[in-house]
A and B are shown apart, each in its own frame.
Chain A
Amino acid sequence: MKLIQIAGLLFIAFSSLFALGENKKVEVGSVVGDFILKDLDGKVFKLSDLKGKIIVLEWTNPNCPFVQRVYKEKIMTSLQKEFAQKGVVWVIINSTNPKHRDYREANELKKIYSEWGATYTAYLLDPDGKVGKMFDAKTTPHMFVIDKDGKLVYAGAIDDDPRGEKKERVNYVRNALNELLAGKAISVPVTKPYGCSVKYAE
């Protein structure tokens, strides 16, 4: 009888843990759970392998005009280059579902982002949108910054210029990374992201 009770309790505990892992969304200020995705070459990428590093996650879709603009105007590429030199890991994630017309095969994505001059540590494919939903990534681009302790410290827009018409922009990601590298607290940890919706499977 006792064995059955213990087995039952263990089952409930495991079920709860599993459910938490499935549904729990990452919030700014909390430690990011691990995830595994494949990159454009089919290699397995595990977030926990980058423990101790500052990581930027950039949600993307090359068909989105907002993404095209931030690459064309070198807003994204200049950030990528600047912070790659400072040891920051840059991870691009594409959560477009394979049935959507914005979906592109890995070799095509590789070509597009190479032409655009992107600098990244990894370009990951998230076709079932699990990781995108874990972060509640809503737009492309949507930016996230993780500190050396694995804590999410920034979530939001790349800058304060959704229409791309400001002469002087506040680049939230640059500011967050500079503050992080200087050992300061992030002054603007959350902003409203802008862009196209992430093309999740419905």
Chain B
Amino acid sequence: MKNLGFSLITLLVTFQILMSSQEKNQVKVEIISDWDGVSSKFFLGVKFSISPGWYIYWQNPGDAGLAPEIKLKLPSYLKAGDVLFPVPKKIVHGDIISYGYYNEVVLLIPVQIVSKEKLKKADVIEAEVNWLVCRESCVPGGTTLKYALMKAKDTEKALVKKYVNLLPRNFEASGLTVKNFKVERKGNLNLVKIELAGRGVNQINDFYPNLIDKFLIDFKSIKVKNGMVEFVVMPLSSDAKVNFLSGIIVVNNEGYEFNLK
């Protein structure tokens, strides 16, 4: 009986969210690819079409939210790499910082055909996709998609190409170099300082960090000035050390992959 009560209340609350948004499906998902029918490497893409004003999250959602999750079931002759996320937008609600995508995004998965002998055209790829979409409120979503592997249409190829170009580029292409990197202790907190040099040093807009193992990042503390990127992290244990740092350096509104050991 209590479970019924819970379900009714939850249903009512969810119904209110859906009705006030006047949109029943905030996210539509489909699989695309750029396979040309010949090559042994291609991209599989999960395309999220997101209702205006709503957003889904980057691999590091920030202070709140949840990254989308893609679980693939592939035929034995295909091997998939990690999901690649295009450069996100920084979403600021007061002191709460998130990273995500509005309107549309395609998450890309590099796929390799490891055995051409076993390849059968129109074999089915299955993807279980889960996401959290938010505007003022948040709604979780999920679906299982099936995709018959065939030579991709030109429109699919063009869309994959567009999002390949929106992936963070190699750091070297930014023209920047790391001049100095240090971590200063400030009471219970650590202050991370990355000094960058090179052309474009005055055009650095922001830094979107990946999560750091054993640390909490104070996202609102991230500051960029004169080639210096600074932010505060809190160690989750007394022996925690910042040994590895990664994320996206945004220069002139373009993202560059940043990895620092």
Q: Which residues of A contact B (CB under 8 A)?
A: 27-29, 62-65, 68, 71-72, 100-102, 111-112, 115-117, 133, 136, 138-139, 162-163, 188, 190-192, 194-202
Inter-chain contact A116/B9, CB cutoff 8 Å: yes
A108 to chain B, nearest CB (A): 10
Q: Is the CB of A115 within 8 A of B20?
A: no
A190 vs B236: C-alpha distance in the bound complex, in angstroms? 6
Assembly CA distance A62 to B8 (angstroms): 13
Q: How far is B211's CA from A190's CA once the two chains are assembled, in angstroms?
A: 15
Task: Give chain A nearest CB distance to B49 CB in angstroms.
Answer: 21
B2 at the interface (CB under 8 A from A): yes
The answer, among A65, A115, A136, A202, for a CB contact under 8 Å with B138, is A65
Partner of A190, one of B2, B13, B130, B216: B216
B94 pairs with A202, CB closer than 8 A: yes
A185 to B69, CA, bound (A): 36
| B234: A residues at CB distance < 8 A | 190
Q: Interface range on chain B: under 10, 10 to 19, 20 to 34, or 35 or more? A: 20 to 34
Query: A138–B12 Cα gap in the complex (Å)?
Result: 25
Is there contact, CB below 8 Å, between A62 and B64? no
Neighbouring B residues of A139 by C-beta, 8 Å:
63-64
Contact between A199 and B136 (Cβ–Cβ < 8 Å)?
yes
Indicate whether B17 reaches chain A with its CB closer than 8 angstroms. yes
Residues of A within 8 A of B8 (CB): 115
Q: Are B139 and A197 in contact (CB under 8 A)?
A: no
Instruction: Tell me the interface secondary structure of chain A in the complex.
Output: loop
Residues of chain A within 8 A of B66, CB atoms compared: 162-163, 194
Do the beta carbons of B20 and A101 come within 8 Å of each other? yes
In whole angstroms, what is the CA distance A200 to B63 when docked? Answer: 14
List A contacts of B158 (CB < 8 A): none
* CA–CA, A100 and B20, complex, Å: 12
A200 to B20, CA, bound (A): 19
Find chain B residues with CB under 8 A from A192 CB. Answer: 211, 216
State the Cβ distance, B239 to closest chain A Cβ, in Å.
Answer: 13
Q: Give bound CA distance, A200 to B64, whole Å.
A: 13
Known: A115-B9, A192-B216. A138 touches B136 (CB 8 A): no
Choose one: A28, A101, A191; the contact of B137 (CB below 8 Å).
A101
Q: Which residues of B contact A68 (CB under 8 A)?
A: 10, 13
Residue of B nearest to A62 (CB): B13
Decide: A197 and B65 in contact? CB cutoff 8 A.
yes
10 contacts between A and B (CB under 8 A): A72-B6, A101-B16, A188-B236, A191-B236, A196-B134, A196-B137, A197-B65, A197-B98, A198-B96, A200-B96
Closest Cβ neighbor of B218 among chain A residues: A136
Chain B residue numbers with a CB within 8 Å of A199 are 136
CA separation between A72 and B14, bound complex, in Å? 14
Interface status of B83 (Cβ within 8 A of chain A): no
- Tell me, in angstroms, the Cα distance from A65 to B138 when the chains sit together: 7
Among B13, B65, B93: residue with most chain A CB under 10 A: B13
A115 near B6 with CB under 8 A, answer yes
Residues of chain B in range 61-96 having any CB-CB distance to chain A below 8 Å: 63-66, 69, 93-96
Given contacts A65-B139, A101-B20, contact A115 B2 (CB under 8 A): yes
| Interface pair A102/B9, CB less than 8 Å apart | no
State in angstroms the CA–CA spacing of A100 and B16 once bound together. Answer: 13
- Closest chain A residue to B141, Cβ basis: A65
The answer to whether A196 touches B138, judged by C-beta atoms less than 8 angstroms apart, is: yes
Instruction: Decide if A138 touches B5 in the complex (CB within 8 Å).
Output: no
Q: Are B94 and A102 in contact (CB under 8 A)?
A: no
Q: How far is the CA of A117 from the CA of B211 in the complex (A)?
A: 35
The 6 closest A-B pairs by CB, nearest first: A197-B64, A115-B5, A197-B96, A138-B63, A196-B138, A139-B64
Distance in angstroms between the alpha carbons of A71 and B10 in the assembled complex: 10
